[in-house]
Amino acid sequence: NAGVTQTPKFQVLKTGQSMTLQCAQDMNHNSMYWYRQDPGMGLRLIYYSASEGTTDKGEVPNGYNVSRLNKREFSLRLESAAPSQTSVYFCACRWDRWADTQYFGPGTRLTVL
Amino acid sequence: QKEVEQNSGPLSVPEGAIASLNCTYSDRGSQSFFWYRQYSGKSPELIMFIYSNGDKEDGRFTAQLNKASQYVSLLIRDSQPSDSATYLCAVNNPGGATNKLIFGTGTLLAVQP
């Protein structure tokens, strides 16, 4: 039981390149989330998915797209990376709408040059 | 005014002392409150959650909630060097079908041996 896994752990991109961050959970949770964490800014929600087939914007969605492929997987795509997207990205999942506890993956450290 | 506010610290306490971490929130409709611990370079991990006014104890940790004053605190008794980490306060956002968490920027705790 791995919980929440994220790939890759580290990534360096050049401005304008694209990439997809992968997240998978084996906890059978319904909701999944993507956050970014920057020094002094805390965790900020990018996108979330309440259930398979649904996605919604969070606080900072610009420059990102997401796909909820199935119940287990939730990916985050950067179509044209910018230096402002240098950050640590965390995926999280939660069981259902009445249980708010979120469980986090190990994170992806992304640098955009 | 930020929705969830924490003193960034660092809060320095000697080993064996009580560490007191505080958090205030702005949305009176918030119903659930969480404390996460985050070691440097790692992902947040849940320590405690609290829904009702008063105290909730779990081992060396006590969460305190005062909804009238809109603050939540975390007490760590018999602090150990291994407790040195950033502590994130999170508050649920009651708007919308899927509850989202709003995170504070965290308080850095340093326990001195």
What pLDDT, in 10s, does the model give residues A23-34?
999 988 889 999
Please check the confidence at residue A96 and state whether its pLDDT lies above 80: no
Contact B19, B11 (CB under 8 A): yes
φ, ψ dihedrals at B83, nearest 5°:
-80, -10
d(CA A53, CA A77): 16
What is the band of A35 on the pLDDT scale with cuts at 50, 70, 90?
very high
Please check the confidence at residue A107 and state whether its pLDDT lies above 90: yes
On whether any CB of chain B is under 8 Å from the CB of A95, the answer is: no
* Residue A12, token pair as written in the block: 């360096």
Q: What is the pLDDT of residue A109?
A: 97
**Which portions of chain B are predicted below pLDDT 50?**
97
Residues of A in contact with B98 (CB under 8 A): 31, 48, 50, 56, 97
Identify the residue among B43, B48, B102, B107 best suited for mutation to test binding to A, counting A beta carbons within 10 A and taking the highest.
Answer: B43
Contact A55, A45 (CB under 8 A): no
pLDDT digits (tens, 9 = 90+) for B97-112: 456 888 999 999 999 9
Q: Which of A2-16, A22-36, A84-98 has the lowest mean pLDDT?
A: A84-98
d(CA A42, CA B102): 9
Compute the radius of gyration of chain B from its Cα atoms.
14
Q: How many CB pairs under 8 A join A and B?
A: 48
Residues of B in contact with A97 (CB under 8 A): 97-99
Q: What is the dihedral of CA B22, B27, B33, B37, to 10 degrees?
A: -50
